[in-house]
Structure 1
Amino acid sequence: MRLQDFWERMREEFGPLADSFARDHVMSDLGGRSVMEALRDGVDVKDIWAAVARDRELPYY
């Protein structure tokens, strides 16, 4: 998954709150990190999206 595709999915699911969610919501599946921290640490965007999908009970697509 490309980073651009990831952000499109985030905006599709969270609308104007996507950036806030990515910055502020910490997930155990990301090792206690937020999306932004996981991106900064080099976690694959596909794995980050999978963590977001599990956390928010979204279909993984």
Structure 2
Amino acid sequence: MYKEVLRSIENVEVFPVVSLVIFVLFFIGITIWTIRVPKDVIDHMSSLPMDDDNKLTDKQP
């Protein structure tokens, strides 16, 4: 059943190629960002899980 539906779509072979290109571009973008990000940003992000929640909610009585 699904084969017949896919056969009826014109140029269906383009969709896997487009999805692969989108994935590769995203992966390359994340890799470039990871390489270029400053070390102090990485240090700040790595310490976030250990930060005290009171810093974020100072307005509580």
Judge same fold: TM > 0.5, yes or no: no
Higher strand proportion (structure 1 or 2):
1
TM-score, normalised by the number of residues in structure 1? 0.25
Higher relative contact order (Cα pairs below 8 Å, separated by 6+ residues) = 1
